[in-house]
Amino acid sequence: MIARLKERGRSLNTMMTLGMLLFTGILLTFMGAALVPFISNLLSENAIERTRETVSQSVNVVDQYVDSTVSTLQFATSLIPADPDKEIAWHSQIDLLARANSDIAALAFFDGNGDCLYSTAGQPSVNGTAIQSREWFTSALKQEGTLTYFSMPYVQDIFRNQHGYVLTLSRAVNYLEGGDRKAGVMLMDITYSSFAALTDRVKLGDSGYTDLINENGEMVSHPKLQLIYSGQASEDISAVLSQIVGLTRDKQAGRERVLVIDVINQTRWRMVGVAYIDEILQSKTAFIRIMSLVLLSAALISLGVTTLMAYWVTQPITHLEHKMRKVEAGDLNVTITARGFSEIRLVATAFNHMLTRIRELMEQIVHEQEAKRLYELNALQAQINPHFLYNTLDSIIWMEERGRSREAITMVSALAKLFRISISKGESVIYVSEEIEHVRNYVIIQQMRFQDRFECDIQAEPETLGERTVKLVLQPLVENALNHAIDEADGSPIHIKVRAFLTEDELRLLVEDDGIGIPEDTLKGILTRPSGRGGIGLRNVHERIQLTFGKQYGLTIESKDGQGTRVTIRMPREKGEKA
């Protein structure tokens, strides 16, 4: 299983798929690693900057509102005449001012003793020292009309049968009473709800909000003020108190927050914009999520396309491999369809040509082997030629009958050796020494039969004896020489020479006679037809040599009519193991 997996892992398809996946993975990772942090940081910075801008705008709005109310109060104070007791036209002016501004709950002017000279909310239920002890009264007098006092939100109780939830602004006003310069206080109550609406409207994300804190850290406004007072909610302002203006972060109830702090100029209250990091970064989170989805999808698409492409590229090779395995298993009739890239098609076409050539060569070899066997068989059959055998056996019997046992033994021995070498255990190629021995035994037999009719001189150079030769090549030539020479001779003995020698790269066996020679027209086709009269033929020898060693080897016959014949056998020098 593991070996199979390892083998699979080494396949081109797997390597291509993994390679392309690796490349895609690196590319996508780089994109993710490089782009995502950059863009997501950009998004979060933009989101925080937007939060800061929103708070800044809200501060501007509140600043403008406060400036406006302060201006209104200043205007109201400007309406107070020098002697407010005597000149009462300012009453209607104050009334008009209050009616014109719906945020104003009450406008009232108190003299230095705390007595109300006029109020748009009706006569106060308290005056005198009860008013003089109020913080808005004392603070206004302390500032001597240079600054406006701003109270925290509270319930106004000084007006009869009225309770308003207000913020009180007050400012000292100088006036004349009985010719004496006095300081009184103009009070202006603005409804808290109209003031709180300025900050309640501001939305910083789903959960974000703004609140106002005074210099002492007391909450002026907060969307959850009631819950804070009842203990159901809390607001950690420690981070705010440690910083006057700017950006800071803290954590409340497990959620990280960004606090944008700015100051309302007139009141020195701090406006705090609270935005939750997880909401601010929603766009960042959404972006990361989207990018992750896109990258994941890209990775999946890449995997699918890579798999398909790798298959498309490697399938022709796999097909090629599959067919080659069939050839390896012995099926040479396989044909590979050339498909895929041009290089693969080229390989497939070449492989097909190679297979065709192999098939042709194999047929040729089979054909040649068959021919060789056929020729050998013919040669062997010729060896067992009944005439030669009869004649030889007759000679042996005749010798024996005449008491010439020694000669009979010699002939029998020569015959046995002749047939043993002829068979040579079925081998087609034997040593030159064996071939010489073979022809020598033949000559012995024939010399006993045809006494004095011929002489045969057999000489082989020592270095030729170890060379390899096709068997049964000399004897047929000697037989041929004997047959033709003896038949046509006029009684004088024939001289036959058998030689074996080496040239630079050939083994040459020579059979030469001084017989009648071969007529020219006979010589022409002598290697293409079987010779007549009992021999296996020069053609047989020639064909066997060529089948064994190639067309460039074989017999060369030189002969002139009446002048003898020389037959040269040419074979390559080939020492070594027997065929």
Q: Does 231 bind other proteins (CB under 8 A)?
A: yes
Q: Are 561 and 517 in contact (CB under 8 A)?
A: yes
> Residue 556's beta-bridge partner residues?
568
Residue 322 or 529 having the CB closest to other proteins:
322
Say whether 173 sits in a helix, a strand or coil: strand
The CA–CA distances, whole Å, from 219 to 65, 213, 270, 517 equal: 19, 5, 10, 144
Q: Does 12 bind other proteins (CB under 8 A)?
A: no
> How far is 498 from 489, CA to CA, in rounded Å?
20
Question: Which residue blocks in 384-470 are alpha helix, DSSP H?
Answer: 386-401, 405-423, 432-449
Piece of 23-31, 227-235, 443-451, 547-555 that binds other proteins (CB under 8 A): 227-235
Minimum Å gap between C-beta 155 and other proteins is 4
Residue 294 or 332 having the CB closest to other proteins:
294
Minimum Å gap between C-beta 365 and other proteins is 40
| Interface positions, 127-156, toward other proteins (CB under 8 A) | 152-156
Given candidates 56, 193, 266, 483, which one binds other proteins under the rule CB under 8 A? 193
Given candidates 164, 208, 476, 517, which one binds other proteins under the rule CB under 8 A? 164
Quick one: tokens of 183? 């300081």
Piece of 169-177, 217-225, 235-243, 421-429 that binds other proteins (CB under 8 A): 217-225
Q: Does 224 bind other proteins (CB under 8 A)?
A: yes
| Interface positions, 508-527, toward other proteins (CB under 8 A) | none
Q: Does 301 bind other proteins (CB under 8 A)?
A: yes
Minimum Å gap between C-beta 229 and other proteins is 5
> Residue 262's beta-bridge partner residues?
271
> How far is 277 from 253, CA to CA, in rounded Å?
13
Say whether 366 sits in a helix, a strand or coil: helix
Q: Does 307 bind other proteins (CB under 8 A)?
A: yes
Piece of 299-307, 359-367, 502-510, 564-572 that binds other proteins (CB under 8 A): 299-307
Given candidates 132, 143, 315, 391, which one binds other proteins under the rule CB under 8 A? 315
Given candidates 157, 343, 363, 457, which one binds other proteins under the rule CB under 8 A? 157
Say whether 178 sits in a helix, a strand or coil: coil
Q: Does 191 bind other proteins (CB under 8 A)?
A: yes
Q: Are 111 and 117 in contact (CB under 8 A)?
A: yes
Given candidates 31, 61, 176, 225, which one binds other proteins under the rule CB under 8 A? 225
CA R_g for the chain: 66
Residue 154 or 501 having the CB closest to other proteins:
154
DSSP character for 282?
Answer: H
Quick one: tokens of 475? 């004897």
Minimum Å gap between C-beta 153 and other proteins is 5
Q: How many chain residues interact with other proteins (CB under 8 A)?
A: 40
Given candidates 142, 203, 289, 402, which one binds other proteins under the rule CB under 8 A? 289
Given candidates 23, 75, 311, 390, which one binds other proteins under the rule CB under 8 A? 311
| Interface positions, 376-395, toward other proteins (CB under 8 A) | none
Q: Does 24 bind other proteins (CB under 8 A)?
A: no
Minimum Å gap between C-beta 296 and other proteins is 5
> How far is 508 from 487, CA to CA, in rounded Å?
28
Q: Are 101 and 71 in contact (CB under 8 A)?
A: no
The CA–CA distances, whole Å, from 471 to 375, 411, 569, 571 equal: 11, 21, 12, 12
Residue 285 or 447 having the CB closest to other proteins:
285
Residue 231 or 426 having the CB closest to other proteins:
231
Q: Identity (one letter) of the amino acid at 263?
A: V
| Interface positions, 263-282, toward other proteins (CB under 8 A) | 282
Piece of 116-124, 163-171, 172-180, 241-249 that binds other proteins (CB under 8 A): 163-171
Residue 155 or 362 having the CB closest to other proteins:
155
From the CB of residue 422, how many other CB atoms can be counted at a distance below 10 Å?
Answer: 19
Sequence-separated (6 or more) residues with CB below 8 Å from residue 475: 418, 438, 439, 442
Strand 209-213 to 270-276 pairing = antiparallel
What is the rounded (10 degree) CA torsion for 406, 409, 415, 416? -150
Q: Does 300 bind other proteins (CB under 8 A)?
A: yes
Q: Does 305 bind other proteins (CB under 8 A)?
A: yes
Residue 170 or 191 having the CB closest to other proteins:
191
Minimum Å gap between C-beta 82 and other proteins is 34
Which residue from 493, 444, 474 is spatially nearest to 555, judged by alpha carbons?
Answer: 474
The CA–CA distances, whole Å, from 6 to 2, 18, 315, 324 equal: 6, 14, 19, 22
Using a 10 angstrom Cβ sphere, with 0-12 exposed, 13-18 middle and 19 or more buried, the burial of residue 364 is: exposed
**Residue matched to tokens 């040729």:** 364
Site residues (CB under 8 A) for other proteins?
Answer: 152-157, 163-165, 191, 193, 219, 224-227, 229-232, 282, 286, 289-290, 293-294, 296-298, 300-301, 303-305, 307-308, 310-312, 315
